[in-house]
Structure 1
Amino acid sequence: MEQKSIPTLYEWAGGNERLEQLTALFYGKVFQDELLEPVFRHMSAEHTRHVAHFIGEVFGGPPTYTQTDQGSHADMVSHHVGKHLTEPMRKRWMALLLESADELGVPDDPEFRSALVGYLEWGSRIAVLNSTSAENPVQPGEPMPKWGWGVPGGPYQPS
């Protein structure tokens, strides 16, 4: 009997093209939002792609963020240090991203959405915590987070 391979979250989401579409749609909403726009006002033109590549890599896709964008987990965290993000900002960020996922038609099956929301909740809460720090708590060379379908032992699986 042939055993089927389980797709990664990256594959299930639709790959790089779909993640880039998602982040572009989402940041378009962010720039129209009075609470979030000031936080993102000065981001680079490549920011939306970098975020898509980061999520893709975390979700089991190719290492585009670390290899092509020359980023790391420490680099992503450094963008949040000292930003003093608030819980209302985090909640709005979550709402706009999930609204964008629905509008774009990102898979909405319970298993995928559970993994997606779990990662976004985890990551956004870490971002708020790190935003009150004066120094980056993630050291250069620490592995990228890995997120999957809810494997035993927790979602964070160092490579």
Structure 2
Amino acid sequence: MKNIPTLYEWVGDMSTFEMLFERFYEKVMNDDLLREVFRNMSPEHTKYVAHFVAEVFGGEKRYTLDDGGSHAKMVNKHIGKRLTEEKRQRWVQLLLQTADELGVKSDPEFRSAMVGYLEWGSRIAVINSQMTENPLTESEPMPRWGWGETGGPYVESNFSS
């Protein structure tokens, strides 16, 4: 059986994720629609999101181990933000544009998996942003995304143990 790389391995390494999100958030801060949402983000925000997505894609557990993060903590960042569908779409658009500009892998299989995760995760963020309390507890596992998971957002196969 072939050794199938994780999405993280396919992209490259942590520096690729960090550069992607650094450049992406530069665009966000210059975007009329999204700037207000992120104007008070911490200086570490870009790094934390890069580490979170890298870990979800099967990479090092830097978000949970080094950054002290969890899925519940990431969800908590969205609570009460009242994100809109227009903002969600712009967020995804800018991230994909940045990935293209940086030459992040663009083969159909990888981009399908990446877009699948961005659509899933950003839609969950919009839902959670309408809430006043976090629906997750600290014991919830981190999401884990691969080459073709299907099913609802809380299907066990979408999470690592």
Both proteins in one fold, TM over 0.5 = yes
1:117-136 alignment, distance < 5 Å: 117-136=115-134
Q: For residue 153 of structure 1, report the CA deviation from its aligned partner.
A: 5.7
Where does residue 36 of structure 2 map in the other structure? 38
**What SS class does the counterpart of residue 35 from structure 1 fall into?**
coil
Q: Distance in 2 between matches of 1:40 and 1:9?
A: 27
Alignment-mate amino acid for residue 14 of structure 1 = G
Where does residue 145 of structure 1 map in the other structure? 143
1:63–1:87 Cα change, 3 Å: same
Q: Distance in 2 between matches of 1:83 and 1:152?
A: 28
Alignment-mate amino acid for residue 105 of structure 1 = G
Q: For residue 156 of structure 1, report the CA deviation from its aligned partner.
A: 1.5
1:88-127 alignment, distance < 5 Å: 88-127=86-125
Where does residue 87 of structure 1 map in the other structure? 85
Q: For residue 152 of structure 1, report the CA deviation from its aligned partner.
A: 6.1
Unpaired runs of 5+ residues, structure 1, are: none
Identity of aligned residues (%): 62
Q: Distance in 2 between matches of 1:151 and 1:133?
A: 27
Alignment-mate amino acid for residue 157 of structure 1 = F
Alignment-mate amino acid for residue 113 of structure 1 = R
1:8–1:41 Cα change, 3 Å: same
CA RMSD of aligned residues (A): 1.3
Q: Of residues 3, 22, 25 in structure 2, which corresponds to 1:24?
A: 22
Write the deviation string for residues 38-81 of structure 1: whole angstroms up to 9, x where unpaired. Answer: 00001011111100000011000111000000000000000000
Equivalences, count: 157
Unpaired runs of 5+ residues, structure 2, are: none
Q: Of residues 55, 58, 83 in structure 2, which corresponds to 1:57?
A: 55
